[in-house]
Structure 1
Amino acid sequence: MTSSTRSQMGVYLLGSTVTVLNRSELPSIHMALGLFLHNHPEKRETIRQSLTSTIKEIATFWYKARIPTRDVQNCQTKQEKLFEGWCLLKKNKGRQSVKQQSREAEFLCKLDNLFDIAHANTMNIMKIKEDKQFLQAQREKGREKGQNDSKMMDMILSSSSDEEDTDNSDDDTVSCKAGPTQENRQRGRKVVITPQLTATLDRTKISDRKAMFVISETVKSLGHNITDLALNRNVPLVVYWNVKLTAGLTSKEQVDRLPVIVSGKGVSQLLTVAKLTSDTGEAQASAVYPAIGDWCITENIRAICFDTTSSNTGRLAGACILLKQKIGKEL
């Protein structure tokens, strides 16, 4: 009765919540937020429970469409930021200022856009042309797609369902994927960019972009398959993290946030600001490692930097020890 009454009253900026996702397309921002609000508070799930159940259902569509997605934690962070942004707008809905109206209009314009949880390197990971075209169409602003996109999604879901009929895996274990597995990864393994070649390129003042053109065409002219070769110059990177206690956006409670940053020669990038359920070494390592994977820079990490709290430096359960174990090499 409560859910029905709330739906009739209307949900701020959305009109109503969402109980079933549309089969013909990947979920939009409207669908993601509407489903989250259906789970919380209509189904009386906690925010954490609603994040988990919502992302699990959304990720099922991406999984069936054969599109690699971000790590679960990053997907949930994106969903949480969407909810927090909506809460801030709702908090000020009584203000009829020009700025508030402009923010509401901007939010409304984005509702039909794709709730994009694709892996950062998804276009390079995917090998099927139709899958790439489908994702590009889904990313169009406003999601104004024709029947071809709906038919394509139905075809993808249908073919995936056929595959699942012969699979013994449990549907309840579906979750976001952090990226390609060892079995489907197609990245070249033979290293071409040696230290000597790098030094030569630097001395002749050839940029990385131009060097790739020259080396690629040279490789082809010598009759080699370029997909078998690793042509990218690996920039050594240092990853930094540090827990910060900040005020929550939707409550007065203090929450632990973990900024993760990498730096190297000509590189300085914020990877994520993860929300932690605790400040243990395991929680920190479990936040840093997926962020590195999402940006496809795991192989580039050479060093780690952190403060000397016991949660980081613990001999058995410290974040630095656990992170090295996850990456699989000494740092």
Structure 2
Amino acid sequence: MSLAALAKVPGSMESTRSKTEVWLIGQHITEITGAQLPSRGDVLRLFFHGHNEHKKTVNDSASEVAASVISFWNKARIPTITEKSIGRKVVDLFLMWKGLKKNCTRTTDTQRKKEETFCDELEDLFDVAHPKAMQLLTIKEDRAFLAAQREKGRRGVMAGVDKKIACSIKRREESKSKQSLQQNQASSALEYDELGSSSETESQSSSSSSTSSLTISPVVSSSNRKRATLKVITPELSSTLDRTGISHRSALRIWIPWTSLKEMKDGSYKIGGPMDSYWGIKLPNGTWNGMVGMVHRNEVEFALGPFTVTPQREGAIDFTLAVHSDNQAIFMVRPGLQNDITGFLKPFTLEVKLRVVEKRRVR
């Protein structure tokens, strides 16, 4: 007999139930525990504890559940959507239950199937992963764990961070620290200005408002030297800011692939993210979205990220050869067809060409 059918059996079973038991859901819980990511049932049981036991509003209960859920996902080192978005998903799940409860007296096949489907999905993952979680996760075991949890019944459990993963994380942190030290040595001083803090920035912002959210300006030794301005889009930086709620000034402390950017000519870099959060997909109408579309439409000078240059993307835009730094690659629109072996360097100045070639030679 299904869980939905059991919930509607009248008589002595109903009278012996605890007051904290909810139709189709079961007993309340006071916290989320276990070695798996929270299920839909876990979320509802915790929600009803606050909503029924403590008489909290739907939104307040959902907010508390969202905080618990995101804390649990953080333990698994898996990036999530925002806490506010999680709260909305909790409310949507509650409203789904409420709609079924409203029609619980119906005995139609449709109602019965809806209840059975709802109960069957209670032990499935309450998925709040970031849309690009699989791309953002750098550890193979973390990706495998998320994939397993998304299966029916949430296969797999969270284990302690084993030695292999711990060593991998340690090496990554040491690499970032070493890179940060190299950046500081390469640039003796950096002048950081928020948009709107100077007349120069204000005059430039009108043509780049869609992508400018942060400027990183190297100090130029000559006060008469005019600095070039390059707009850069980095989805890693944008998603990190959204996920952690870090301010733009604090974001300057976040690692960015400066070793790649410093190969460019001296200038200011306005860093932002694609408005639609896509790398680049060809739409049915023939246009491109995401970063590829922005480069294709000349909205930005170049894009930075671990691009996969597919034949379809190459048909839409010419990419330069990748300049790698910690798996990052810079791609720019070529000014024209480049047939010679140094064609990928044509967008750069002679000084930069020599520096890039020398860098490649010593690797």
What TM-score, normalized to structure 2?
0.46
Larger radius of gyration between Structure 1 and Structure 2: 2
Higher relative CO (CA 8 A, sep ≥ 6), structure 1 or 2?
1
In proportion to residue count, which structure has more helix? Answer: 1
What TM-score, normalized to structure 1?
0.50
In proportion to residue count, which structure has more strand? Answer: 1
